[in-house]
Structure 1
Amino acid sequence: MAETSPARHLLIPFAGRGSPACRAATPGLQLPKLEALLARLAPAGTDAQDDSTFSPPHERALAAALGLAAPDGCIPWAAREARALGLPGSEGDAAWAWLDLCHWQVDLRDVVLGEPAQTQLSAAESQSLRDAAQPLFEEDGIQLHGGALPGRWLASGELFRGLPTASLDRAIGNSISQWSPITDAGRPLRRLQNEIQMLLYTERVNDDRTARGLPPINSFWLSGTGALPAAMQPEGAAPTVVDLLRMPALHDDGAGWAAAWAAVDAGPVAELLADCERGADVMLTLCGDLDAQRFAGGPRGLSGWVKRLFNRPRAATVLETL
């Protein structure tokens, strides 16, 4: 008996956004391909949380598709990357974390996390800072490794086991205190973070960056914490994740977000619609600030035709519920 091919799954983070400019742009979105696709699909599950969860809906949806079961804030993204890269100790059940070098924006009232990608940190700068920071981390039993992205270190150590941390996508542009609560388990890391901040203040790399008009690297953000089982079952089929909406959504650029949605509608969504029209099994997951909604193949034949004719949902109405 022939094996059935897995459904093609498209996952769209930040499909809905509750920030002021993006929320105002939502009713005016013109997304004909998405509306045609939704008319052919049926609701297949929802994951509704509140805005205090450390793991946003798109990360929870991706973890579920991959078969990664974990409590909030403990999806082991760093351990997964470490194992994929074959880093020392990654085949066991060691706990890992992502450490993203970043610029904390300080004013008289608050400290806000800047977007790490906008620091324009080079691989050489990241390596230089990691060499300087490694002795401080080793004092707490933490080993640092380079990752696939400059400015993102992979760290292994028992401090990260069972430690909930907020995703960058929750924290960027928001108050540090809101997403980095001091708990008993996190106190050693808060002390370490203070020591690293003092170290970074004296680093030549930051002097050179300031001279070039770039923001200094003055801290790091911890996320992706947790451990993978040593004998983990094979992952499920990975969905295609569309990241075009992320940057305008995080910066509440309503016009940019709407333009990105138009590109997503004309590109990945149109391709999934074409697959669906050819009779292929497809799934679509739309994620917002609070909710992830999954859609899969609906009724075909005459009943499907009637549904598409009389029940064509408006995309904006669906996105406003996320």
Structure 2
Amino acid sequence: MRSIMHVAHSVSRLHLLLPFALPTAASAQPALQDLDKPALDRLLERATLVERVVGDDFQRTLPHERWIARCFGVGHAAAPAASRQQADDAASSERAARSAAATDDDAPLAPYMLLADGGEPRDAVWACVEPVHVQVAHDHLVLIEPATLQLSTDDAVALLAVARPLIEALGVEVAAPTPLRWYLSGEPLGSLASAAPLRAAGRNIEIWLPHEAHTGRRPRTWMKLQNEVQMAWFEHPVNQAREARGLPAANSIWLHAQGRMTPVSQPFKHVLSRAAATRGLALASGAALATPPATFDRLQQQAGGQTTARAAGRGTAGVTLVELDQLSTPFVQQDWPRFRAAFAALERDWFAPALAALQRRELAELALTLCSDTGTTTLVVRPIDMKKFWRRRSFASLLP
């Protein structure tokens, strides 16, 4: 994984991206029961709504993937830069809230993931392929959340050694700069529509399997490859050993995020993320790259000191993006006690100190992009907004 581990800069304009932070209204009661989040609530009360994108349950990509792709100008329309929006009055906020429902389901992120993993995308179509576990239900197949597979590096290497010749026999190039995530290259991949693993996880995989984007037909070549890999792995020693330990077998492969690398914009000067797609986009844009620290205070320490909002100014410093994905796995697994614990940690480690920094005018601007499993909501708050006591937006009002 390519990274720049120490990024020295003063953080005056901060954007927090929070995948899976907004449960559905139906899940809100178990997800948020007894959750104390006064700092986040205060930030949301005073913030200006910049953009609200309403997706649907049948989009094949994830909302935070679409958001990050649009920010960097990948895919179709570029997203508005949330931290640069001027929407301080209620009417502008209301217009932002009525943003049209998203029809764009484009997030061709595989070449950028390959770049982040240490590969060379070149001018070619790439798709990401990951080993997965597919479970047999009563009358259908269900994709298990990928994090539960817990595949070791050695096991992944052994499984790839079996799958690689099957893939290459189809005339498809294979790149595996990291054993746990592989990449296939071939022009026919560019015509497929596929789903992110976390989109299909826990669901009947029938409608989420790759198909030809223009005809809806299943690609025979991919179906043949998937079947051959499944058979080759069925009694593989790796899977036999895993099942003996009570672990799920790696019994299939999942293709997603296919596309060709294109030039990107640079919406952020500094990017801190563990997600391969976000890291690859940062590398392609020339942004400084690091992994997120554990806390906001640690971010400020790494930045080499604090800068007052007055000194920083809105136009003299770049935006720092921090992607905090602690909520993703418990959300997808619907492990609500774990979800609440992760949310409480974000409140303690990020929201509360960021609120304090705004109040002390050490932050000129804080943007929040909160994602559900279908859409995104972006808000921005500045020190002057903390005095706007008449604003009363609630967290519940943002739930899909």
Q: Give the corresponding residue for 1:161.
A: 190
Question: Is residue 118–residue 177 contact of structure 2 (8 Å, CA) maintained in 1?
Answer: no
Distance 2:123 2:210 in 1: 26
Q: Give the corresponding residue for 1:220.
A: 253
Q: Give the corresponding residue for 1:246.
A: 328
Match of 1:13 among 16, 19, 23: 19
Correspondence 1:191 to 2:231: no
Correspondence 1:175 to 2:227: no
Question: Is residue 72–residue 264 contact of structure 2 (8 Å, CA) maintained in 1?
Answer: no
Relative to structure 1, the CA distance from residue 72 to residue 201 in structure 2 (aligned partners, 3 Å threshold; closer, same or farther) is farther
How far the C-alpha of 1:11 sits from its partner, in A, is 0.7
Q: Give the corresponding residue for 2:82.
A: none
How far the C-alpha of 1:221 sits from its partner, in A, is 1.2
Letter of the structure 1 residue corresponding to residue 368 of structure 2: L
SS in 2 for 1:310: coil
Distance 1:185 1:83 in 2: 29
Provide Cα deviations, 1:127-148, integer angstroms capped at 9, x if missing partner: 1111111111112222222244
Distance 1:185 1:195 in 2: 16
The percentage of counterpart residues that share the same residue type is 33
Relative to structure 1, the CA distance from residue 313 to residue 293 in structure 2 (aligned partners, 3 Å threshold; closer, same or farther) is same
Q: Give the corresponding residue for 2:113.
A: 81
Q: Give the corresponding residue for 2:98.
A: none
Relative to structure 1, the CA distance from residue 212 to residue 29 in structure 2 (aligned partners, 3 Å threshold; closer, same or farther) is closer
Q: Give the corresponding residue for 2:47.
A: 41
Q: Give the corresponding residue for 1:283.
A: 367
Letter of the structure 1 residue corresponding to residue 147 of structure 2: A
Question: Is residue 75–residue 107 contact of structure 2 (8 Å, CA) maintained in 1?
Answer: yes
Distance 2:383 2:240 in 1: 62
Match of 2:397 among 310, 318, 322: 318
Distance 1:163 1:9 in 2: 33
Distance 1:207 1:247 in 2: 26
Letter of the structure 2 residue corresponding to residue 290 of structure 1: T
- 1:194-273 mapped onto 2 (5 Å cutoff): 194-229=227-262, 232-237=263-268, 238=271, 239-273=321-355
Distance 2:59 2:165 in 1: 33
Unaligned runs of 5+ in 2: 1-9, 77-102, 272-320
Question: Is residue 74–residue 225 contact of structure 1 (8 Å, CA) maintained in 2?
Answer: no
Q: Say how many residue pairs are matched.
A: 308
SS in 1 for 2:53: strand
Letter of the structure 2 residue corresponding to residue 139 of structure 1: A
How far the C-alpha of 1:27 sits from its partner, in A, is 6.1
Question: Is residue 54–residue 72 contact of structure 1 (8 Å, CA) maintained in 2?
Answer: no
Deviates more, 1:216-225 or 1:269-278: 269-278
Distance 1:52 1:23 in 2: 24
Distance 2:357 2:258 in 1: 36
Q: Give the corresponding residue for 2:128.
A: 98
Question: Is residue 163–residue 226 contact of structure 1 (8 Å, CA) maintained in 2?
Answer: no
Question: Is residue 73–residue 164 contact of structure 1 (8 Å, CA) maintained in 2?
Answer: no
Match of 1:296 among 380, 383, 388: 380
Distance 1:147 1:74 in 2: 25
SS in 2 for 1:161: helix
SS in 1 for 2:193: coil
Unaligned runs of 5+ in 1: none
Letter of the structure 2 residue corresponding to residue 225 of structure 1: Q
The structure showing larger relative contact order (alpha-carbon pairs under 8 Å, at least 6 residues apart) is: 1
Letter of the structure 2 residue corresponding to residue 131 of structure 1: A
How far the C-alpha of 1:189 sits from its partner, in A, is 1.1
Correspondence 1:31 to 2:115: no
Match of 1:61 among 51, 57, 67: 67
How far the C-alpha of 1:294 sits from its partner, in A, is 0.5
Question: Is residue 66–residue 105 contact of structure 2 (8 Å, CA) maintained in 1?
Answer: no
Letter of the structure 1 residue corresponding to residue 340 of structure 2: A
Relative to structure 1, the CA distance from residue 22 to residue 254 in structure 2 (aligned partners, 3 Å threshold; closer, same or farther) is farther
Relative to structure 1, the CA distance from residue 46 to residue 20 in structure 2 (aligned partners, 3 Å threshold; closer, same or farther) is closer
Letter of the structure 2 residue corresponding to residue 264 of structure 1: L
Q: Give the corresponding residue for 1:125.
A: 155
Relative to structure 1, the CA distance from residue 96 to residue 289 in structure 2 (aligned partners, 3 Å threshold; closer, same or farther) is same
